[in-house]
């Protein structure tokens, strides 16, 4: 890892390389040569070079010598702010760094300095590099004394807790890391320079209580300083020292006090935001970063250099809340302000991937990799985006590159395993999951997926052992179902080996015309297939957790300004990030990672249709009407709120009826979104599109419930909602061998049973392939099945002849 000393020396060598006239400054021409030289793979236009130089000379105006250009301190600051990678640029220029020469040189120069400079050097040695920074460092001598005392207190606390075995640490193996689908920044804070190793202090110990008491004395010294500025300097320094030692709660107290002393200073808000983020308080973290942003924007050029990092940290905090669309906005701002900010581009690409905008994600991630070719996280997320776009072979290469750069990259290994699973290469998938477990032994999802891949590879016994290991890590119900499934497969295998039957595959597909239903309550196979897709979307988005009355309250309580669309009509349109805020209120019970998944599904399926022009805005009334059928509440209420949402739109506001054309357009949109087999063709064939007549709510219901032209499939979706947790005792599907959950479809002649999924796909066991047709009766529960059985026995007993 590059130390501050070696980092400064490398920047110095770079500076000297391009300071051709040795005047101690880099002119625009010399800076232009530097930018081109350290980015050999990027072809800059003259306009781009000019724009970059304008931004540098504007942002770092205080480091600009009018006659000479950017000073060495200015160049060092650009690297400190993340505008470039010192090590990468140093290597790109082919320069060599000799630590021994640096040491000798520094010793020689120090021999001629005054005693005062020697004191300053000692200060640099006894604390971190930030303390001597011209903008973020210690200003007052009294503050140095406080810092020295605090370092002693922290060392004493650390020594005691280590001795008692109370100090704990880990390597930040967060459970959500691989599940999210893209790499996360695993450091302890959004802008932290700390190591990956997180330290946990025992706050309930006596030692810690004594430490806090002594810390209070130092804070009192700062409060008693001769001026407000000196008190601010003291609290900021205390906060920085505590932050570096990962005493985040105590650091937050100091930064908050600094905020009180100088509310318009960016730095304490920025640092408080970092502390809150580490402590998992994402909303409060976001609020602090917003205050930092407000202070920076009102402070002119003084804080301009901090804006990109504030935007980045704001985005990360929003992602912590699950607000990925909003995070994208801030990452874009950071990348615009600082085009070489590779981390902002990486985070933007990851967030775009997280909302399903894969092409845009690939573009951003490729730019990040151009700027930093050894960025393993960016390679991992690029590969995930390519896989989502179907470019699997290229995705494998990029995943492998990420693993080459960082052999223990859990996300890359885990996601590559998933890719191999999708391609049916189960043995390779198993190898990837084994490597994940070598790095992260208690990763239960990797253990479960390893079992599934082994099962796909035909290694049943190994799969069973892997499943049992996963069960030791977590007690989730799907693991019990998987083990039950394996047992059923084992029984079937033994039976087939004993009787020498069923040499074919586990199922055969039957054409839809051969599937018949018994009774009016049995769902048709095509209807069930469609309803299952809608129900799957409903589960991912958790819209069923949002009571439909909440939509009505949003329409009633929140005013949305009327705007005019491209065709000139009035509409209540809203930007996607603002819509995300509304959805967060409606789905406030969801955890952040669950909400992220919901936003991705909604963006891909609904917003992409409503924003077909790519403007980034959607008709809010139409959006409410589209999601109302999938929200919680009685079906009649859902239809009523959908109708009210159409009335809420400016074209109908104040009326109790909507036009027949608009009702038809809405229903066709519903079908295009939720019944993909219909595609957009129906949207182009809106019946009655020139009809200006209006329809009442009852007439709207007639159009809505029509099974052919309306959204009559909703009744089947509602049936799934009430039944999809029902279990049928020991009954298992005759095809997939999983326990039946939901409805059970029993073939009345042969007696075999199918689950929802296998029935909807037309699968039957190969044993019964000779039948001309298959008649199914649907049972919602085993109670229904028992009642039907009793009725059947009763009817048979009545048919028996009476003895004479």
Q: What is the largest CA-CA distance in the chain?
A: 131
Angle between helices 620-627 and 576-586 in degrees, nearest 10: 40
Q: d(Cα 361, Cα 382) in Å, to the nearest integer?
A: 7
DSSP character string of 79-138: HHTTSS-HHHHHHHTT----HHHHHHHHHHHHTTS-HHHHHHHHHHHHS-GGGG-TTTS-
Tell whether the torsion through CA atoms of 55, 59, 62 and 63 is positive or negative.
Answer: negative
Q: Where on the phi/psi map is residue 553: left (φ > 0), alpha (ψ -120 to 50), or beta?
A: alpha
Q: What angle do CA 495, 498, 503 make, to 5 degrees?
A: 75
DSSP symbol at 26: B
- Residue 200 bridge partners (DSSP): 168
Residue 695 host element (H or E): strand 694-695
Pseudo-torsion of CA 402, 403, 406, 410, nearest 10°? 100
Structural tokens at position 57: 């000379």
How distant, in Å, are the alpha carbons of 29, 666, 673, 682 from that of 676? 57, 15, 6, 11
Q: d(Cα 355, Cα 606) in Å, to the nearest integer?
A: 12
Q: d(Cα 258, Cα 272) in Å, to the nearest integer?
A: 10
- Residue 694 bridge partners (DSSP): 659
Tell whether the torsion through CA atoms of 605, 608, 611 and 617 is positive or negative.
Answer: positive
Structural tokens at position 190: 């959004």
Helix and strand element counts for the chain (H, E): 37, 18
Q: d(Cα 217, Cα 206) in Å, to the nearest integer?
A: 17
Structural tokens at position 638: 């859902």
Structural tokens at position 322: 């699950």
Dihedral pair phi/psi, residue 546, rounded to 5°: -100, 110
DSSP character string of 309-342: HHHHHHHHHHHHHT-HHHHHHHHHHHHHH-TT-H
Distance of CA 49 to the CA centre of its chain: 34
Dihedral pair phi/psi, residue 775, rounded to 5°: -105, 125
Angle between helices 307-321 and 282-298 in degrees, nearest 10: 160
Q: d(Cα 579, Cα 573) in Å, to the nearest integer?
A: 10
Q: What pLDDT, in 10s, does the model give residues 396-447?
A: 999 999 999 999 999 999 999 999 999 999 999 999 999 999 999 999 889 9
Residue 168 host element (H or E): strand 168-170
Q: What angle do CA 650, 654, 659 make, to 5 degrees?
A: 65
Dihedral pair phi/psi, residue 639, rounded to 5°: -65, -40
pLDDT at 678: 58
Q: d(Cα 426, Cα 431) in Å, to the nearest integer?
A: 9
Place of tokens 């589960």: 539
Helix (H, G, I), strand (E, B) or coil at 731: strand
Contact 595, 584 (CB under 8 A): yes
DSSP symbol at 28: H
Q: d(Cα 151, Cα 346) in Å, to the nearest integer?
A: 36
How distant, in Å, are the alpha carbons of 189, 590, 595 from that of 599? 25, 11, 6
Place of tokens 């970063």: 289
DSSP symbol at 247: -
Q: Which residues of the chain fall below pLDDT 50?
A: 1-4, 99-126, 172-195, 498-503, 679-681, 683-684, 686-688, 802-804
- CB under 8 Å to 50, separation ≥6 — which residues? none
- Residue 64 bridge partners (DSSP): 70
pLDDT at 253: 96
Enter the pTM of the model: 0.75
Tell whether the torsion through CA atoms of 758, 671, 632 and 640 is positive or negative.
Answer: negative
How distant, in Å, are the alpha carbons of 45, 83, 158, 425, 539 from that of 59? 21, 11, 41, 52, 48
- CB under 8 Å to 432, separation ≥6 — which residues? 413, 414, 416, 417, 420
CB pairs under 8 A, 24+ apart, for 49-57?
A: 52/339, 52/340, 53/28, 55/337, 55/338, 55/339, 56/31, 56/83, 57/28
pLDDT at 400: 97
Structural tokens at position 173: 């193996």
Q: What pLDDT, in 10s, does the model give residues 608-637?
A: 999 878 888 999 999 999 999 999 999 999
Residue 563 host element (H or E): strand 563-564
How distant, in Å, are the alpha carbons of 494, 558, 654 from that of 620? 58, 12, 17
Contact 389, 359 (CB under 8 A): yes
Q: d(Cα 804, Cα 798) in Å, to the nearest integer?
A: 16
- Residue 732 bridge partners (DSSP): 739
- Residue 778 bridge partners (DSSP): 745
Dihedral pair phi/psi, residue 8, rounded to 5°: -65, -40
pLDDT at 345: 96
Q: d(Cα 312, Cα 368) in Å, to the nearest integer?
A: 14
pLDDT at 684: 43
Burial of 323 (0-12, 13-18, 19+ CB in 10 A): buried
Distance of CA 217 to the CA centre of its chain: 43
Q: d(Cα 289, Cα 330) in Å, to the nearest integer?
A: 11
């Amino acid at each position: 890892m590059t130390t501050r000393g070696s980092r400064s020396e490398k920047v110095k060598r770079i500076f000297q390389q391009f300071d051709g006239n040795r005047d101690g400054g880099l002119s625009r021409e010399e800076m232009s040569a530097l930018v081109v030289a350290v980015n050999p793979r990027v072809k800059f236009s003259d306009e781009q070079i000019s724009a970059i130089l304008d931004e540098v000379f504007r942002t770092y105006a205080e480091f600009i010598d009018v006659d000479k250009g950017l000073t060495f301190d200015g160049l060092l600051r650009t690297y400190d702010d993340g505008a470039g990678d010192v090590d990468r640029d140093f290597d790109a220029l082919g320069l060599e760094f000799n630590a021994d020469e640096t040491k000798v040189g520094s010793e020689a120069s120090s021999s001629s300095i005054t005693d005062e400079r020697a004191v300053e050097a000692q200060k640099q040695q006894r604390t971190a590099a930030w303390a001597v920074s011209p903008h973020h460092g210690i200003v007052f001598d009294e503050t140095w004394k406080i810092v020295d005392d605090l370092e002693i207190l922290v060392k004493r606390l650390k020594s005691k807790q280590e001795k008692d075995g109370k100090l704990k640490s880990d390597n930040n193996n967060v459970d959500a890391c691989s599940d999210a689908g893209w790499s996360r920044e695993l450091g302890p804070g959004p802008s932290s320079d700390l190591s990956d190793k997180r330290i946990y202090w025992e706050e309930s110990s006596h030692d810690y209580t004594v430490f806090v008491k002594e810390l209070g004395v130092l804070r009192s010294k700062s409060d008693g300083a001769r001026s407000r500025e000196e008190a601010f300097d003291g609290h900021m320094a205390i906060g920085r020292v505590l932050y570096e030692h990962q005493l985040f709660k105590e650091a937050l107290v100091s930064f908050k006090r600094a905020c009180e002393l100088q509310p318009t200073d960016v730095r304490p808000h920025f640092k408080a935001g970092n502390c809150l983020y580490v402590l998992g308080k994402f909303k409060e973290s976001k609020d602090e970063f917003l205050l930092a942003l407000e202070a920076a924007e009102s402070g002119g050029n003084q804080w301009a250099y901090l804006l990109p990092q504030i935007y980045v940290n704001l985005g990360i905090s929003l992602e912590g809340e699950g607000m990925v669309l909003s995070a994208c906005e801030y990452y874009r701002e950071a990348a615009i302000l600082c085009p070489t900010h590779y981390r902002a581009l990486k985070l933007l690409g990851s967030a775009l991937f997280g909302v399903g905008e894969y092409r845009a994600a690939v573009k951003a991630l490729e730019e990040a990799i151009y700027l930093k070719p050894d960025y393993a996280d960016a390679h991992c997320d690029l590969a995930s985006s390519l896989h989502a776009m179907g470019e699997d072979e290229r995705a494998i290469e990029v995943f492998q590159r990420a693993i080459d750069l960082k052999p223990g990259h859990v996300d890359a290994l885990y996601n590559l395993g998933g890719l191999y699973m999708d391609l049916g290469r189960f043995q390779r998938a198993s190898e990837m999951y084994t490597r994940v477990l070598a790095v992260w032994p208690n990763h239960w999802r990797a253990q479960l997926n390893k079992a599934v891949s082994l099962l796909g590879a035909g290694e049943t016994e190994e799969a069973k052992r892997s499943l049992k290991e996963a069960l030791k890590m977590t007690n989730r119900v799907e693991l019990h179902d998987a083990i039950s499934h394996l047992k059923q497969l084992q029984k079937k295998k033994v039976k087939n080996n004993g009787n020498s039957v069923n040499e074919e595959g586990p199922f055969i597909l039957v054409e839809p015309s051969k599937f018949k239903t018994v009774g009016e309550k049995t769902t048709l196979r095509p209807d069930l297939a469609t309803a299952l897709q809608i129900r799957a979307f409903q589960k991912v988005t958790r819209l069923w957790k949002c009571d439909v009355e909440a939509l009505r309250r949003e329409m009633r309580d929140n005013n949305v300004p009327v705007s005019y669309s491209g065709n000139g009509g009035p509409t209540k349109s809203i930007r996607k990030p603002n819509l995300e805020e509304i959805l967060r209120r409606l789905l406030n019970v969801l955890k952040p990672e669950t909400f992220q998944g919901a936003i991705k599904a909604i963006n891909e399926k609904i917003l992409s249709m409503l924003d077909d022009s790519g403007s980034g805005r959607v008709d809010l009334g139409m959006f409410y009407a589209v999601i109302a059928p999938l929200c919680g509440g009685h079906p009649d209420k859902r239809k009523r709120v959908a109708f009210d949402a159409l009335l809420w739109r400016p074209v109908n506001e104040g009326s109790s009826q909507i036009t027949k054309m608009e009702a038809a357009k809405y229903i066709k949109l519903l079908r295009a979104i939720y019944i993909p087999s219909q595609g957009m063709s129906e949207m182009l064939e809106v019946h009655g599109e020139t009809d200006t007549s209006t329809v009442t709510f009852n007439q709207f219901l007639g159009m809505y419930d029509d099974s052919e032209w309306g959204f009559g499939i909703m009744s089947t979706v509602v049936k799934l909602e009430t039944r999809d947790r029902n279990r049928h005792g020991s009954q298992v599907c005759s095809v997939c061998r999983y326990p039946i959950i939901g409805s059970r479809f029993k073939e009345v002649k042969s007696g075999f049973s199918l689950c929802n999924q296998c029935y909807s796909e037309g699968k039957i066991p190969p044993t019964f392939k000779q039948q001309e047709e298959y008649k199914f009766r649907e049972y919602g529960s085993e109670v229904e099945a028992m009642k039907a059985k009793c009725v059947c026995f009763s009817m048979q007993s009545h048919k028996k002849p009476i003895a004479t």
